[in-house]
Amino acid sequence: MTIIGWHCVGLVLFSMGCLVPVIQTMSPCEIGKEGSANCTGRNLTSVPKDLPANLTSLDLSYNSVDASDPENSRRLQAFMNLVFLNLSNNHIPALHSEPFMSLKMLKVLDLSNCEIHLLHPMALKGLLSLQILILNNNRITELAPQLLNDMQALSTLDLENNQLAIVTIQLLEKFEGIHEVRLQGNSWVCDCTLYPLQKWLKQQAEYAEEIRCVFPPELQGKNLLDLDLSPVSCSEKSGRFPRFDHSETLSAFTVTAGTNQTSEAPSAEGENGWHYLVGVLVIAITISVLIAIGAKFKLFHKYLSSYSHQLLPEQDVGSQDNDTVSVSMAHSSEMEEVRDRTMYPPQGLEEDDGYIEDNYIPTGVEAEDAEEMHVDI
């Protein structure tokens, strides 16, 4: 090779050596010598394409990378040697199924401050080596037990400052194998359904002063461990610890009661419905019959009362007439004779009906009677 040829090769190598720093400065991430990439705060909306495939540490915090996006999920799963992944302070409202399926070497996953409100039960599937899971400062209201199925090596679970109100017995069983579970700052409803959590916390001395009630209002700020939520106490003091409507309950006796109520209520209502209908009909018919009977008796009584009139006694009428005749004829001797004949009529005459009008004596009869009386004398 000539001297000119060697000069050309040297010039090319020198140019490539100068371009490497320039390319590195143009990349959105800082690539470290130990297989790390620092991409924090770069206003990224997706996982960069030019990152080395052998990365062991990737920091994507303080960006707008949605790990549930199919393209971002595909790029993340390409880093099969990742041990540390930081996705904190990104916008991930819902974490769907299996976005980290290929990251079997991952030991630390930070998903804090990502506005997560929905976690699919299979969202963390495949993380067989995960030891630290950070989910604090999100809006998680429910945690499915299946979420922790593959994480047999998990030692730290941070759920601080979410919106959890209850935890199921199945989830508490998953907590048994975890060295540290942080549950402070959630929206805990301190009713009888929280008794299993209280019982579990009593075995964790480090949480003695951390779990505080949010609901009901009268217990807000109270330490969960200071309350008596045992089944016996709750049955005696049900008014002090009112039950709230939860989708799932946290104790065996509450689950059983809720199941019985939901399963037996419709059948009982169906069986007793016709009894209520028959009872209403019987009552209505009985009332109608009573009203009809009452109306009949009232008409019958009115009918009898119309025939209850009687004639005045003859003695009263006679006495009244006698008084009247006596008054009108007090100073007449002739009238006294007429009165005697009136009161003692001769036999053969028809009986009077007992009613004589005042002064009703014909004049002709009076004269004839007077003459006959004079002749007899």
CATH top class, domain 26-255: alpha beta
Residue intervals of the chain classified under CATH 3.80.10.10 are 26-255
* Cα(318)–Cα(181) distance, integer angstroms: 118
Confidence of residue 139 (pLDDT cuts 50, 70, 90): very high
List the end-to-end C-alpha distance of the chain, in Å, as a whole number.
208
pTM: 0.58
Nearest CA-CA partner of 243 in 173, 166, 186: 166
- What residue type is assigned to position 255 of the chain? V
Is there a contact between 103 and 124 (Cβ–Cβ < 8 Å)? no
Burial, 85: exposed, middle or buried (Cβ in 10 Å; 0-12, 13-18, 19+)? buried
Question: Going by C-beta distance under 8 Å and a sequence separation of 6 or more, which residues neighbour residue 294?
Answer: none
**HSE-CB for 3 with a 13 A CA cutoff:** 0
Burial, 180: exposed, middle or buried (Cβ in 10 Å; 0-12, 13-18, 19+)? middle
350 vs 102, more confident: 102
Is there a contact between 130 and 210 (Cβ–Cβ < 8 Å)? no
Q: Average pLDDT of 40-62?
A: 95
Q: 57: part of which helix (H) or strand (E)?
A: strand 57-59
Q: Average pLDDT of 73-79?
A: 95
Sign of the torsion angle spanned by Cα atoms 133, 60, 34, 100 = positive
Q: Average pLDDT of 292-311?
A: 61
Question: Going by C-beta distance under 8 Å and a sequence separation of 6 or more, which residues neighbour residue 152?
Answer: 128, 177
Q: Name, of 2-6, 88-92, 228-232, 322-326, the range with top average pLDDT.
A: 88-92
32: tokens are: 């470290």
Q: Which residue has the tokens 């089944």?
A: 231
Confidence of residue 206 (pLDDT cuts 50, 70, 90): low
The vertex-29 CA angle with 27 and 34, nearest 5°, equals: 115
Confidence of residue 4 (pLDDT cuts 50, 70, 90): low
* Cα(220)–Cα(214) distance, integer angstroms: 5
56: tokens are: 């062991």
* Cα(164)–Cα(143) distance, integer angstroms: 8
Q: Name, of 123-127, 197-201, 265-269, the range with top average pLDDT.
A: 123-127
213: tokens are: 């009630």
